[in-house]
Amino acid sequence: MGIDFRVADLSLHSAGRHQIRLAEHEMPGLMSLRTEFAESQPLAGARIAGSLHMTVQTAVLIETLVALGAQVRWASCNIFSTQDEAAAAVVVGSGTPENPAGVPVFAWKNESIEDYWWTAEQILTWPGAAEDPELGPNLILDDGGDATMLVHLGAQYEAAGAVPGPGAAESHEHGIVLGTLRATLAKDPAKFTRIAGRILGVSEETTTGVLRLNQMAAAGTLRFPAINVNDSVTKSKFDNKYGIRHSLPDGIMRATDVLIGGKVVVICGYGDVGKGAAEAMRGQGARVIVTEIDPICALQAAMDGHQVARLESVLARGDIFVTTTGGKDIITAAHMQGMKNKAIVGNVGHFDDEIDMAGLARVPGVRKVEIKPQVHEWVLDAGTGAERSIIVLSEGRLLNLGNATGHPSFVMSNSFTNQVIAQIELFTKAGTGAYANGVHVLPKILDEKVARLHLAALGVELTVLSPAQAAYLGLDAAGPYKPETYRY
């Protein structure tokens, strides 16, 4: 029987396969897990619902999970982030476009919000699972927490016997989620309860998804164990920082082709992503201004040589504004009206709440001109005849994935090696008490293993502790080397 899927165009598969092949060379962590676990197949019996940007790098992740024995269904966690050629290659697998033999993927670049929530439901809808729940998903691999949220909300409304009416929706997108759940509940009133009862755990990729998991755990509503992959050191101190240092300028350049050197770039937030963003902009010769709410991060930015200011004080000076906070309403419509002509505005935080796009659309007399897909000029002259507009990238969504192709393979190999190890941990240790219902990070020795797997490719020579040195420091020469409180 063929596989079900929905992607843009299967004929792109060989272009995708070439890119995947080159990415494999740059993803030594994932490739060494394939070798290490080729025989033992630790994920045999795992049925993974994956929701993470459907890029070339993610294709290598998916095919690693499969190589370790898992069955997988996949969607993207952002409407603009899919690389259609990668999605096609994963679906075709070892088959042909006429007879695909790979993994069911439901993702294409430029989905509508309705499409997006449809794809999210598809990864949770496994063939035969309505009749036999054993055939449904037993693990979630999430980025931003939307798949996890869908299962939790669905189960919550099923327990209540109804989904709130359209009037209860807090936003356009929330209304679409409620509509999706209402339709499901009408057809299958216990679908998400069944799924929630069988999920052994979720591994979460990013800061924003971890925030949601921690909120659910604190409220006592989390239904299964979670591994916070983001806070592996080899994830957030690498992907969030060095990844964005590469993919932020890539996105701005592909979108606008402006020279960054000499410009004033305002970076909102100086966490891991903000630090990488600021370093990249300075590397291009920009003058960087940082905004922060946290005195520690504000002081770090100052010590790193950046001006730290409130956004309101620097609106008229900035040429490029980038939000990196994971918060909401960071750049409001009023802020955008105060910016200089042709200022560029973009976001690399997970959700599109950081820039008030709905507010911008409501500014009297505003006009939106499409320069090209994911690049829009918003004309704010209100009919005055004065030439004034700003450029908004990816409609306020992740611009490094919307306007470019996200982080490069080598850094994603670190993140995704953590993901695969987290899935193995959740699956093979289910029921042992190793991961109770709650939010966990991987043991430091595994974090160090991820780094170790990436050293040889960069020609790194690691110094080895002598037994006497190890005894002096009170360490095992094989690690772990640092206490949990160490900050790197």
Applying CB under 6 A, the residues found at the interface with ligand NAI are 206-208, 236, 239-240, 243-244, 268-274, 291-294, 297, 324-327, 330, 348-350, 398, 400, 406-407
Question: Nearer Cβ to ligand NAI, position 102 or 271?
Answer: 271
Burial class from Cβ neighbours inside 10 Å (0-12, 13-18, 19+) for residue 54 reads buried
Question: Nearer Cβ to ligand NAI, position 125 or 291?
Answer: 291
Q: Which residue reads 């922060």 in tokens?
A: 292
**How far is Cα 28 from Cα 414, in angstroms, rounded to an integer?**
9
Question: Nearer Cβ to ligand NAI, position 108 or 270?
Answer: 270
Q: Which residue reads 């918003």 in tokens?
A: 378
Q: Which residue reads 């040195």 in tokens?
A: 469
Q: How far is the CB of 257 from ligand NAI (least distance, A)?
A: 20
146 among the known binding-site residues? no
Question: Nearer Cβ to ligand NAI, position 68 or 140?
Answer: 140
Question: Nearer Cβ to ligand NAI, position 16 or 251?
Answer: 251
242 among the known binding-site residues? no
269 among the known binding-site residues? yes
* DSSP 8-state symbol, 409: H
**How far is Cα 11 from Cα 187, in angstroms, rounded to an integer?**
35
472 among the known binding-site residues? no
Six token digits for residue 350: 């997970």
Q: How far is the CB of 311 from ligand NAI (least distance, A)?
A: 7
240 among the known binding-site residues? yes
Report the candidate in 112, 193, 207 with the shortest Cα–Cα distance to residue 150.
193
Q: How far is the CB of 397 from ligand NAI (least distance, A)?
A: 9
**How far is Cα 74 from Cα 88, in angstroms, rounded to an integer?**
12
Q: How far is the CB of 188 from ligand NAI (least distance, A)?
A: 32
Reply yes or no: is the peptide bond before residue 480 cis, omega within 30 of 0: yes
**How far is Cα 65 from Cα 227, in angstroms, rounded to an integer?**
17
Q: How far is the CB of 54 from ligand NAI (least distance, A)?
A: 14
332 among the known binding-site residues? no
Q: How far is the CB of 324 from ligand NAI (least distance, A)?
A: 5
Q: How far is CA 263 from CA 10, 210, 364, in A?
A: 42, 34, 29
Intra-chain end-to-end CA distance of the chain, in Å:
50
Question: Nearer Cβ to ligand NAI, position 225 or 274?
Answer: 274
64 among the known binding-site residues? no
84 among the known binding-site residues? no
Task: State which residue has the least CB distance to ligand NAI.
Answer: 271
Q: How far is the CB of 209 from ligand NAI (least distance, A)?
A: 7
292 among the known binding-site residues? yes
Q: How far is the CB of 347 from ligand NAI (least distance, A)?
A: 8
* Pairing verdict, β 105-106 and 139-142: unpaired
Cβ contact 462:478 at 8 Å = no
Cβ contact 418:238 at 8 Å = no
Q: How far is CA 398 from CA 195, 217, 275, in A?
A: 30, 27, 17
Question: Nearer Cβ to ligand NAI, position 348 or 420?
Answer: 348
**How far is Cα 125 from Cα 122, in angstroms, rounded to an integer?**
5
**How far is Cα 278 from Cα 269, in angstroms, rounded to an integer?**
10
Q: How far is the CB of 129 from ligand NAI (least distance, A)?
A: 30
Long-range contacts of 166-173 (CB under 8 A, 24+ apart): 172/113, 173/113
208 among the known binding-site residues? yes
Q: How far is the CB of 247 from ligand NAI (least distance, A)?
A: 6
324 among the known binding-site residues? no
Report the candidate in 402, 398, 440, 434 with the shortest Cα–Cα distance to residue 418.
440
143 among the known binding-site residues? yes
Question: Nearer Cβ to ligand NAI, position 297 or 465?
Answer: 297
Question: Nearer Cβ to ligand NAI, position 71 or 236?
Answer: 236
Residues 6+ apart with CB under 8 A from 151: 124, 140, 192, 195, 196, 199, 223
Question: Nearer Cβ to ligand NAI, position 65 or 348?
Answer: 348
Phi/psi for 389 (5° steps) reads -155, 165
262 among the known binding-site residues? no
* DSSP 8-state symbol, 487: -
Annotated binding site: 55, 143, 205-208, 235, 239-240, 269-274, 292, 400
Binding site residue list for substrate? 55, 143, 205, 235, 239
Which residues contribute to the annotated binding site for NAD(+)?
206-208, 240, 269-274, 292, 400
